[in-house]
Amino acid sequence: MKYMDKTFHRFSELFAQLGLPADVASIRSFIEAHSPLDGAVRIEEASFWTPAQARLLGELIAQDADWAEVADRLNAALRRR
């Protein structure tokens, strides 16, 4: 039987990939500062990302790989208030 390698990434890992402070307080501050994200705006098109960050997020989501799950969780967190 073949098992899929299902890696669970944390917000801290995604924030580090994006070049952002990755400690819990910084992540909370980022989400609070940028929430709620308008429902009509795709997460990778939000104005607060640099072009490189937006490109990375778009790639992670498009690949639908293990990173897509944590990107989806960040998307959901940014839409709450």
Strand, helix or coil at 21? coil
**pTM of the predicted protein model:** 0.85
pLDDT exceeds cutoff 70 at 1 = no
Tell me how far apart the alpha carbons of residues 51 and 2 are, in angstroms, rounded to a whole number.
38
Q: How confident is the model at residue 4 (pLDDT cuts 50, 70, 90)?
A: very low
Q: How confident is the model at residue 21 (pLDDT cuts 50, 70, 90)?
A: very high
- 38-75: per-residue pLDDT in tens? 999 999 999 999 999 999 999 988 887 788 889 999 99
10 Å CB burial of residue 30 (0-12, 13-18, 19+) is: buried
Count the Cβ atoms, other than its own, within 10 Å of residue 58. 16
pLDDT on residue 25: 97
